[in-house]
Structure 1
Amino acid sequence: MSDQHTDRTGAPVSIVLDRNRAISAYTVSVDEGTLAGRADFVDPRQASDERVFFHTEVASEFGGRGLAGLLVREALADSIRENLTVVPVCPLFAKYLKEHGDGYKAEGGRFRRPRPADLALVKETVENAGEA
């Protein structure tokens, strides 16, 4: 998946689903390939219809361009297309869904609050990725 967007400056950006690393992520690139940020997630083995988003980061030199918002919106849109329930452990995803959850549901999206098992899965995923 690769999707073209524009940031707040009107510059083209690309958002890509990256499953080639220890932790899967949606990445956002600018200037024809410069990685600017990522939204990390894990798909729980025990719940194949869920996606747990746990960390979103945009490099400070790209701040103010709306890249984090583009990442969140694209990841959520993709979750609708894949019929996944979103579990927002990441504060940015949680805030977005708190503010726009009704609209997200109206578009066919689903989400639920994180549970202790989700937090344990994130911790295990991050620890295992560090060992890889």
Structure 2
Amino acid sequence: MTTDKTGAPTEVAAEHDRFTISVDGRIAGFTEFVDHDGQRIFPHTVVDEEFSGRGLATILVREALESTRASGLRIVPVCSMVAGFIEKNPEFNDIVDPITTDVKRVLSRR
């Protein structure tokens, strides 16, 4: 179990199309994904304003990317939060793919 900057316990859970992060049983944010052709595309991440500044986005994105690696998928960081995290954490660079026309087409059909 991971704790946020206030020491509150957090839990990241995988759902059908997103990972959510909860604090003390309350959902505080999510990062959406679309799986396509061996890639996991991350278009959007949100943490509720009430929970901002507690490091939840970092916890959420790290666990989502670690799960993606464990699933054998590649990462396409469309979301600026995910892209920024990868920039600061280059250990994920080996499984990152660029945003292509195909990725944009997949996202436009959502």
Q: Same fold (TM over 0.5)?
A: yes
- The CA deviation string for residues 82-104 of structure 1, in whole angstroms up to 9 with x for no partner, is 11100001111111222322x22
What is the Cα deviation at residue 27 of structure 1? 0.1
SS at match of 2:82: helix
Report the counterpart of residue 54 of structure 1 in structure 2. Answer: 43
- The CA deviation string for residues 47-84 of structure 1, in whole angstroms up to 9 with x for no partner, is 1x210001000000000010111111001111111111
Distance 1:65 1:36 in 2: 11
**Count of residues in Structure 1 that have an aligned counterpart in Structure 2:** 110
1:29 aligns with 2:28: no
Contact preservation (8 Å) 1:87, 1:113 = yes
Report the counterpart of residue 104 of structure 1 in structure 2. Answer: 92
1:9 to 6, 10, 15: 6
2:78 to 89, 104, 128: 89
SS at match of 2:46: strand
CA-based RMSD of the aligned residues comes to 1.2
1:42 is aligned with what amino acid? V
Q: TM-score, normalised by structure 2?
A: 0.93
| Structure 1: runs of 5 or more not aligned | 126-132
Q: TM-score, normalised by structure 1?
A: 0.78
2:107 to 122, 125, 132: 122
SS at match of 2:99: coil
| Structure 2: runs of 5 or more not aligned | none
Contact preservation (8 Å) 1:89, 1:119 = no
1:90 is aligned with what amino acid? C
SS at match of 1:71: helix
Distance 1:99 1:64 in 2: 17
1:30 is aligned with what amino acid? V
1:38 aligns with 2:26: no
